[in-house]
């Protein structure tokens, strides 16, 4: 049997503004062989997520950037095709950060072994049962703390994180209002995910917010920043919580743009009067140590049909750059996953 080549997507240039296809290069390389203690994995699914824009930049962040010429970072679900680690055998399904490539060889200790029971698709471990779902759960547990009867607004509601956020909040007995782009996404959010309403940010968002939640907003899940943030922020109620998960609308801003250079956010005056609690978080700080708590709760809801989700599956690793560029433009619909 001839050894298959590895297909890899490398970071070629650091983009200024929106990434371009030429910022990536797709190369064929030699497939790795597992060393002692390593496991050789054929990747089945690669997750594409907005945080990757940060890894393409050399600007200081919470993780090191991808170096030029290196494989783009990303989480994958894969299948073990050779093992030199006692805990893994051929055929095992595993989850972890293998990068934008077809094969990798990794130390067994770095892998999460997936219990494949056939009830749920493997790609779900990159979305609702993976990092995005965990992000939703941790942010609500630690910061949002939604109580029954409260009003929760979720931006990017049809996206990977937003769809889980809103449904967890529904489980907690909240009124949940999504914000998404366009009637198709909005319909999905209300009809398939069961949000109480979904507002199209292409319309008059302040007026829509006033109509949908005249009582104000207790919890705002922030995925987008920009004009959506400006519309939601003044409508937060006293003791409101703003879960700062990300601000995708601002990810393509010039590197180094910071508060003093470009003061363009909300006047923080109401933070005092309303006792607002604004807190950013990174799921990897403490989330993975609670993965099993999260998984058991959410998986039960999924299996019972109480929690729905949507994926946007793009086939072919070579399409990852285009899909990622589209993700930053809101072109995806649901959790974006590359089927390798």
Distance (Å, rounded) from C-alpha 47 to C-alpha 125? 9
Instruction: Extract the tokens encoding 332.
Output: 């995806």
Of 162 and 321, the one with the shorter C-beta distance to a copy of itself is: 162
Q: Is 335 helix (H, G, I), strand (E, B) or coil?
A: strand
CB atoms within 10 A of CB 311: 21
- The answer to whether 279 contacts a copy of itself (rule: CB under 8 A) is yes
Q: How far is the CB of 158 from a copy of itself (least distance, A)?
A: 21
- The answer to whether 211 contacts a copy of itself (rule: CB under 8 A) is no
Of 19 and 78, the one with the shorter C-beta distance to a copy of itself is: 19
Among residues 27, 112, 122, 230, the one that binds a copy of itself under rule CB under 8 A: 230
**Is there a contact between 165 and 140 (Cβ–Cβ < 8 Å)?**
yes
Of 74 and 139, the one with the shorter C-beta distance to a copy of itself is: 139
Q: Which stretch binds a copy of itself (CB under 8 A): 103-111, 112-120, 229-237, 296-304?
A: 229-237
Q: How far is the CB of 282 from a copy of itself (least distance, A)?
A: 6
Of 184 and 285, the one with the shorter C-beta distance to a copy of itself is: 285
- The answer to whether 148 contacts a copy of itself (rule: CB under 8 A) is no
- The answer to whether 281 contacts a copy of itself (rule: CB under 8 A) is yes
Distance (Å, rounded) from C-alpha 173 to C-alpha 178? 15
- The answer to whether 210 contacts a copy of itself (rule: CB under 8 A) is no
**Is there a contact between 111 and 95 (Cβ–Cβ < 8 Å)?**
yes
Of 20 and 264, the one with the shorter C-beta distance to a copy of itself is: 264
Which residue, among 116, 109, 51, 52, has the nearest Cα to 78 in the 3D structure? Answer: 116
Site for a copy of itself in 244-273 (CB under 8 A): 244-247, 250, 253, 257-273
Contacting residues for 167 by C-beta, under 8 A, at least 6 apart? 193, 194, 301, 306, 307, 308
Q: How far is the CB of 180 from a copy of itself (least distance, A)?
A: 20
Place of tokens 């399409």: 319
Distance (Å, rounded) from C-alpha 19 to C-alpha 332? 16
Of 107 and 277, the one with the shorter C-beta distance to a copy of itself is: 277
Site string for a copy of itself, 4-23 (x = CB under 8 A): --------------------
Stated as kind and residue range, the H or E segment containing 241 is strand 236-244
Q: Which stretch binds a copy of itself (CB under 8 A): 21-29, 92-100, 237-245, 301-309?
A: 237-245
Among residues 237, 277, 290, 339, the one that binds a copy of itself under rule CB under 8 A: 277
- The answer to whether 35 contacts a copy of itself (rule: CB under 8 A) is no
Of 93 and 241, the one with the shorter C-beta distance to a copy of itself is: 241
Contacting residues for 109 by C-beta, under 8 A, at least 6 apart? none
Of 167 and 223, the one with the shorter C-beta distance to a copy of itself is: 223
Site for a copy of itself in 92-131 (CB under 8 A): none
**Binders of a copy of itself: how many residues, by CB under 8 A?**
45
Place of tokens 């089927």: 339
Q: Which stretch binds a copy of itself (CB under 8 A): 128-136, 147-155, 224-232, 317-325?
A: 224-232
Burial degree of 55 (CB within 10 A; 0-12, 13-18, 19+): middle
CA dist list (Å): 80 to 41, 73, 163, 208, 340: 5, 20, 30, 50, 15
Instruction: Extract the tokens encoding 155.
Output: 């931006």
- The answer to whether 229 contacts a copy of itself (rule: CB under 8 A) is yes
Distance (Å, rounded) from C-alpha 96 to C-alpha 116? 15
**Is there a contact between 166 and 117 (Cβ–Cβ < 8 Å)?**
no
Distance (Å, rounded) from C-alpha 147 to C-alpha 241? 12
Q: Which residues bind a copy of itself (CB under 8 A)?
A: 54, 60-62, 206, 225, 229-231, 233-234, 238, 244-247, 250, 253, 257-282, 285
């Amino acid at each position: 049997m001839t050894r298959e080549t590895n297909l890899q997507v490398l970071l070629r240039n650091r983009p200024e503004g929106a990434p371009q296809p030429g910022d990536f290069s797709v190369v064929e390389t030699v497939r790795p062989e597992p060393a002692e203690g390593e496991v050789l994995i054929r990747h089945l699914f690669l997750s594409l997520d907005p945080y990757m824009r940060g890894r393409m930049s050399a600007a200081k962040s919470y993780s090191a950037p991808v170096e030029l010429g290196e494989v783009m970072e990303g989480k994958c679900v894969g299948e073990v095709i050779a093992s030199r680690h006692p805990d893994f055998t051929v055929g095992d399904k595993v989850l972890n950060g293998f990068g934008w490539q077809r094969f990798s060889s990794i130390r067994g200790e770095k892998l999460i072994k997936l219990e494949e029971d056939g009830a749920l698709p493997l790609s779900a471990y990159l979305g609702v049962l993976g990092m995005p779902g965990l992000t939703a759960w941790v942010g609500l547990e630690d910061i949002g703390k939604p109580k029954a009867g409260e009003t929760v607004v979720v931006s990017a509601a049809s996206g990977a994180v937003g769809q889980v956020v809103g449904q967890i909040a529904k489980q907690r007995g909240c009124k949940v209002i999504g914000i998404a782009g366009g009637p198709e996404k909005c319909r999905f959010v209300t009809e398939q995910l069961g949000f109480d309403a979904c507002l199209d940010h292409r319309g008059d968002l302040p007026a829509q917010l006033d109509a949908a939640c005249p009582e104000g907003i207790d919890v705002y899940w922030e995925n987008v920043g920009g004009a959506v943030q400006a519309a939601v922020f003044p409508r937060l109620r006293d003791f409101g919580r703003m879960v700062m998960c990300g601000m995708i609308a601002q990810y393509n801003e010039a590197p180094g743009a910071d508060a003093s250079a470009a003061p363009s956010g909300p006047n923080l005056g109401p933070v005092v009067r309303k006792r607002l609690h604004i807190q950013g978080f990174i799921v990897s700080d403490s989330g993975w140590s609670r993965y099993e708590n999260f998984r058991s709760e959410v998986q039960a809801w999924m299996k019972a049909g109480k929690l729905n989700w949507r994926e946007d599956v793009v086939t072919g690793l070579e399409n990852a750059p285009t899909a990622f560029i589209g993700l930053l433009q809101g072109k995806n619909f649901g959790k974006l996953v590359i089927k390798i």
